[in-house]
């Protein structure tokens, strides 16, 4: 049964943008290079199930998540394609991973040794830490021991091997090239190369076709966001943002010069002003440090004023508007647009974090 939402604050997800971003990437790839859609963290806040279905419809062949719970959410939604868990999975998840056909990351010799009493078949991708410093096998001897351990256990099926680049979205290439060399050296230790070799995240997929191997991991750019500000001007094709954030005016009043607004009385009206209240606050992901940002109303930018509250915020209007007037916080209205990169700059962070900050009390509404 679908849920009814009464508060007029929501995230709009354009599924056609997801499909378009995948199809445009696919046009740049070699014919035998597959797209692994990265839908971890609730598909970067966009909604994992709906995004997964749209990505698969557009040409992605498999999915990747960060945790067992995320993989199970997709399986429980009826998604049957290969799913890779990129993060560290506890050994207690092995049985269900085996039964639900979920591929796990083998990221250390210790993790593999911990599976020694499990004799049902299960699939793994071996993770090489070529210079990211997170999880993964670093040294040749550890990899050789891991491969020998696996060879003695026919029920462990190695279907992939991968690494992750730390600086593919940056102008300097020294560290990137060092990682490439490390990965390719360790790849030579495999007596039989796994069927899926993948190294490229969005940044590498868009910049380095030579690193695409059998599959690319399409994450942030699948959602229409450049991997970094530096890359934004050099993308091989334009990206279409999938997410926009909407609300509407719930209260309007005219205040006199000198009136203070909000917690701490940090804003003082410089003249008689029209003030509107919006039903969105930091509990939704409109963080307090965004107090100096604008929103769109009637196609024009107007400023947020005072401190952003947990559930509400206030804006200063150019004129009186009606209750129910539509407001866009992220996205386009008429000819104006507020981009997620603006918020990222204001918060001194990256758009990835903005997307993941939006809380679950914001409904995701999908247009197809």
Q: What is the pLDDT of residue 3?
A: 81
277: pLDDT strictly greater than 60: yes
CA distance 65 to 156: 21
How does residue 210 score in pLDDT terms, banded at 50, 70 and 90? confident
Q: What is the pLDDT of residue 1?
A: 46
- pLDDT tens digits, one per residue of 80-110: 999 999 999 999 999 999 999 999 999 999 9
Contact assessment for residue 281 and residue 254, using Cβ atoms and an 8 Å cutoff: no
Domains 15-223 and 243-338 share a fold: no
3-state helix, strand and coil shares in percent for the chain, rounded to the nearest 5: 30, 25, 40
Whether CATH 1.10.10.350 fits 243-338: no
Contact assessment for residue 22 and residue 52, using Cβ atoms and an 8 Å cutoff: no
In total, the chain counts a number of residues equal to: 368
Q: What is the pLDDT of residue 368?
A: 76
Single out the catalytic residue among 40, 53, 127, 241: 40
Name the region of 274 (left: φ>0; alpha: ψ -120 to 50; beta: rest): beta
Contacts of residue 260, defined as CB under 8 A and 6 or more positions apart, other chains included, come to: 266, 267, 268, 269
Single out the catalytic residue among 253, 257, 263, 368: 263
263 is catalytic: yes
Q: What is the pLDDT of residue 209?
A: 87
**CATH classification number, 15-223, choose in 3.40.50.2000, 3.90.400.10, 3.40.50.300, 3.20.20.10:** 3.20.20.10
40 is catalytic: yes
- pLDDT tens digits, one per residue of 226-262: 999 999 989 999 999 999 999 999 999 999 999 999 9
Radius of gyration of the chain (CA): 24
H helical segments located in 59-120:
68-76, 94-99, 109-113
List the Cα angle 155/79/360 in 5-degree steps: 115
Contacts of residue 226, defined as CB under 8 A and 6 or more positions apart, other chains included, come to: 220, 232, 235, 239
CA distance 355 to 218: 16
Return the domain boundaries, the chain: 15-223, 243-338
How does residue 264 score in pLDDT terms, banded at 50, 70 and 90? very high
How does residue 288 score in pLDDT terms, banded at 50, 70 and 90? very high
In the predicted model, what is the mean pLDDT of residues 166-186? 97
Beta strands in 15-146 (DSSP E): 34-38, 62-65, 83-85, 102-106, 122-127
124: pLDDT strictly greater than 80: yes
- pLDDT tens digits, one per residue of 340-362: 999 999 999 999 999 999 999 99
Mean pLDDT score of the chain, rounded to an integer? 97
- pLDDT tens digits, one per residue of 294-339: 999 999 999 999 999 999 999 999 999 999 999 999 999 999 999 9
Tokens 């591929």 -> residue: 103
Q: What is the pLDDT of residue 164?
A: 98
> The whole model's pTM is what?
0.95
CA distance 333 to 336: 6
In the predicted model, what is the mean pLDDT of residues 278-285? 98
DSSP assignment string, 251-310: EEEEE-TT-EESGGG-EE-SSSEEEEEES--TTTT--GGGTT-EEEETTEEEEEES---S
126: pLDDT strictly greater than 80: yes
Contact assessment for residue 299 and residue 336, using Cβ atoms and an 8 Å cutoff: yes
186: pLDDT strictly greater than 90: yes
């Amino acid at each position: 049964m679908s849920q009814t939402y009464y508060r007029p604050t929501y995230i709009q997800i354009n599924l056609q943008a997801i499909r378009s971003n995948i199809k445009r990437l696919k046009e740049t790839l070699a014919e035998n290079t597959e797209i692994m859609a990265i839908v971890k963290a609730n598909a970067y806040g966009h909604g994992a199930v709906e995004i997964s279905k749209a990505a698969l419809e557009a040409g992605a062949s498999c999915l990747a998540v960060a945790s067992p719970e995320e993989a199970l959410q997709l399986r429980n939604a009826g998604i049957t394609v290969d799913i890779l868990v990129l993060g560290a999975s506890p050994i207690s998840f092995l049985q269900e991973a085996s039964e639900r056909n979920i591929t796990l990351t083998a990221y250390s010799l210790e993790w593999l040794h911990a599976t020694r009493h499990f004799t049902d078949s299960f699939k793994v991708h071996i993770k090489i830490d070529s210079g990211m410093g997170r999880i993964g096998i670093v040294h040749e001897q550890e990899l050789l021991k891991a491969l020998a351990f696996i060879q003695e256990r026919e029920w462990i099926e190695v279907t992939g091997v991968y690494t992750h680049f730390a600086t593919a979205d940056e102008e300097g290439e020294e560290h990137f090239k060092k990682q490439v060399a490390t990965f390719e050296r360790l790849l030579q230790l495999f007596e039989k190369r796994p069927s899926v070799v993948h190294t490229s995240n969005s940044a590498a997929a868009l910049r380095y076709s030579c690193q695409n191997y059998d599959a690319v991991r399409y994450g942030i750019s699948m959602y229409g966001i450049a991997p970094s500000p530096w890359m934004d001007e050099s993308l091989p094709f334009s990206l279409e943002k999938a997410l926009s954030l909407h609300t509407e005016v719930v209260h309007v009043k005219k205040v006199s010069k000198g009136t203070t607004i909000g917690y701490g009385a940090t804003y003082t009206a410089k003249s008689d002003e029209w003030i509107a209240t919006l039903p969105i606050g930091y509990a939704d992901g409109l963080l307090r440090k965004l107090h100096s940002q604008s929103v769109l109303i009637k196609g024009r930018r107007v400023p947020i004023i005072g401190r952003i509250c947990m559930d509400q915020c206030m804006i200063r209007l150019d004129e009186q508007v009606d209750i129910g007037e539509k407001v866009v916080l992220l996205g386009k209205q008429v000819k104006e647009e507020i981009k997620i990169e603006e918020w990222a700059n204001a918060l001194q962070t990256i758009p990835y974090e903005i997307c993941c900050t939006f809380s679950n009390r914001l409904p995701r509404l999908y247009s197809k």
